[in-house]
C-alpha cells in the first residue's frame, strides 16, 4: 500500500504520469512483499479475522504519511535545482531535518504512545533510566543487554548508512524507484537471519514462500524498469 500511496501522491503533487506497465510493476512488487511476509507469519487467518477492518485500515492510512514524506523530499530536491541554478540541496541537510522532525513528534506523542503500550506516563523516566543502563551495559543492572554498547552502535551506524543510501537514490532518481529498490531488503533480511549470527540464538529456517515472493518482487522491479518512465 505504501507504493500505491506514492504513485497517487506523486501524480498529484509532482504531476507525474506513469505507464500501465509501471503501475503493474509496483503492484507486483507489493504482492511479492506480501507473499514473503505472509509465508513467514504462519498464515494465521483467524487472527486477521478477529482484528476486523478498523486496524488494517488504520495501518493502510498511516502509510500515507510516510509516502507523503518521501514525495515531499523528492519535491525538495527537484525544486532546489531550480532555485539554486542547477545545484541541489545536500542529502545530509534533508536527512537532518527529517530526523529532527521525527524525534520531535515522537517526544510530543510520548503520552499517547506510552498509554497504548500500557505504560503509565509517570513511569517513563524509570524506563529511560533502564534503557540507558542497558545501552552502556552497566554490569548486571539489566538483563538481556549482551553486546551493548557495540551492537546498538552498529545498528545505529547501519541504519544511518541505509537511510543515506536510500535518500541518495531518491535524489538521483525518484521516491518510487527508491522504495522499489528498498523492498529487496525484505527477502534479503529474512535470508540473512537463517545464518548462525551471534547473539541471535539458533538460526531460523527459510519460509516456504520466500523464493516465490522474491521472484514476484524481482519480476515487478524488472517490469517497472523496462516499462520506461514517462514522468519528468
pLDDT single digits (tens) 10-69: 989 888 888 888 889 888 888 888 887 777 655 444 555 565 677 778 888 888 888 998
Is 45 or 188 the better-scoring residue by pLDDT?
188
- Give me the sign of the Cα torsion angle 184, 76, 108, 123: positive
Tell me, what's the pLDDT at 224?
86
Domain spans in the chain, listed from the N-terminal domain onward: 2-227
47-56, 145-154, 170-179, 199-208: least confidently modelled range: 47-56
User: What mean pLDDT, rounded, does the chain reach?
Assistant: 82
CB atoms within 10 A of CB 111: 11
Q: Say yes or no to pLDDT of 139 above 60.
A: no
175-182 and 54-83 helices cross at what angle (nearest 10)? 130
How much is the average pLDDT of 194-221? 81
Give the model's pLDDT for residue 232. 44
The rounded distance, in Å, linking the Cα atoms of 124 and 40 is 33
* Euclidean distance between CA atoms 37 and 209, whole angstroms: 8
Of the CA atoms within 13 Å of residue 71, those in its CB half-sphere come to 21
Q: What are phi and psi of 207, to 5 degrees?
A: -65, 150
Amino acid at each position: 500500500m505504501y507504493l500505491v500511496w506514492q504513485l497517487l501522491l506523486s501524480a498529484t503533487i509532482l504531476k507525474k504520469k506513469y505507464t500501465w506497465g509501471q503501475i503493474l510493476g509496483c503492484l507486483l512488487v507489493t504482492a511479492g512483499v506480501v507473499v514473503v511476509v505472509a509465508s513467514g507469519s504462519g498464515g494465521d487467518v483467524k487472527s486477521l479475522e478477529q482484528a476486523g477492518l478498523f486496524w488494517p485500515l488504520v495501518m493502510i492510512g498511516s502509510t500515507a504519511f510516510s509516502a507523503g514524506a518521501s514525495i515531499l523530499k523528492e519535491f525538495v530536491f527537484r525544486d532546489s535545482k531550480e532555485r539554486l541554478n542547477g545545484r541541489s540541496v545536500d542529502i545530509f541537510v534533508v536527512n537532518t531535518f527529517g530526523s529532527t522532525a521525527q524525534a520531535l513528534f515522537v517526544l510530543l506523542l510520548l503520552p499517547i504512545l506510552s498509554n497504548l503500550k500500557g505504560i503509565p506516563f509517570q513511569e517513563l523516566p524509570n524506563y529511560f533510566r533502564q534503557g540507558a543502563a542497558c545501552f552502556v551495559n552497566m554490569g548486571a543492572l539489566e538483563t538481556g543487554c549482551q553486546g551493548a554498547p557495540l551492537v546498538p552502535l552498529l545498528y545505529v551506524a547501519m541504519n544511518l548508512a541505509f537511510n543515506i543510501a536510500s535518500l541518495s537514490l531518491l535524489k538521483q532518481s525518484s521516491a518510487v524507484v527508491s522504495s522499489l529498490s528498498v523492498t529487496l531488503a525484505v527477502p534479503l533480511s529474512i535470508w540473512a537471519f537463517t545464518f548462525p549470527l551471534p547473539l541471535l540464538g539458533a538460526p531460523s529456517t527459510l519460509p516456504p514462500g520466500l523464493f516465490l515472493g522474491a521472484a514476484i518482487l524481482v519480476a515487478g522491479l524488472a517490469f517497472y524498469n523496462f516499462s520506461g518512465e514517462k514522468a519528468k
